[in-house]
Structure 1
C-alpha cells in the first residue's frame, strides 16, 4: 500500500510504501516517526487513518481534478470552433469525444482512500465495500472544526502578545 501524507511536525509531503507489519510512518524530511495505531487494520482492511485519529475515510478516483477540468475546458473550447463555422454535427462530435475521453479515464483510473481530517491518501487497497464515497456533511464537519481551531489559536496568540 502506498501512503501519501503531510507530516504533522514539518508539514511537508511524504510518500512511502507501507505494510501492516510496520509500526510507524517515518518522515523523509524531518526523520520523525509517527506511530501507527495497532487497530488501524482489521480483517485485512484499513479501519482508520494511520496519521491522525480519524476513522472517517472516503473513496475517490485517483486522478488529478485539475487535469479533468482542463480536459473538459479544452473540449468546450475546441467545440466552439466548429460551432463558429456553423457545423453543429462536428461541434457535438468534439463534445462527445471529450465525454468519451473522460469516461475512459474514469474507467481505467484506480481509487484512492482519503482521510477527511488530514487528507492522507492510501493507494493500492480494495476498500470499496468498507468505505463509501465523499460525504459533504462529514467534510464540512471537519472543515468547520479546523476553522474553529485556527481561530482559537489566533485569538490565543493575540492575547499572549497583548499581555
Structure 2
C-alpha cells in the first residue's frame, strides 16, 4: 500500500513541476494508525542498532579521594515500546506519546583509586516505566513551504536498576 502511494506521488512530479507545485495530504485515523505501527517498528529497530559511545572521567569521593572511572562497550540488548499513540492536534500538527517503555543495556566498567587499587567488570542496566510525549508542529514558512518544529517534549523514567558484576581473578598458581 505504501509503495503504491509513493509511486503515485512520484508519477505526479512532472505535472507539479510544470504548474503550481504542491501536494495536499489528507490524514485519516486509519492512516495515522498505520504510520504509528510502522514508526514504532522502525524506532525499535534503530534503537537496537545505536552505538553508545564510551565515556570516562574523574570524581573526588570523600574519604577515598580521586576516583577514575570508565564505561565501555555499551550496547542495547532489549527495547520495548508497548504503548504508543499518535493524535492530530487541530491547527498545529501531531502529538506522539510512548508509555510503559523499557530498555536494557550492558557494558563494561573500570575504576581506579588511591593510585593502586583497580577493579573492573561488566554491568547490566534496566530502565522501566519510560514515558515520552512530543508535539510536532507542521506549518508553512514565509515561502509557503512546509516547516516542521517541536512545540513540546517531555520524558519521565519510572525506575532504573544497575547490576555490577566484578571480574574475579584466580591468583593461585597451579
TM-score > 0.5 by shorter chain? no
Q: Which has the higher strand share?
A: 2
Q: Which has the higher contact order (CA 8 A, sep 6+)?
A: 1
TM-score (norm: length of structure 2): 0.22
Larger Rg: 2
Q: Which has the higher helix share?
A: 1
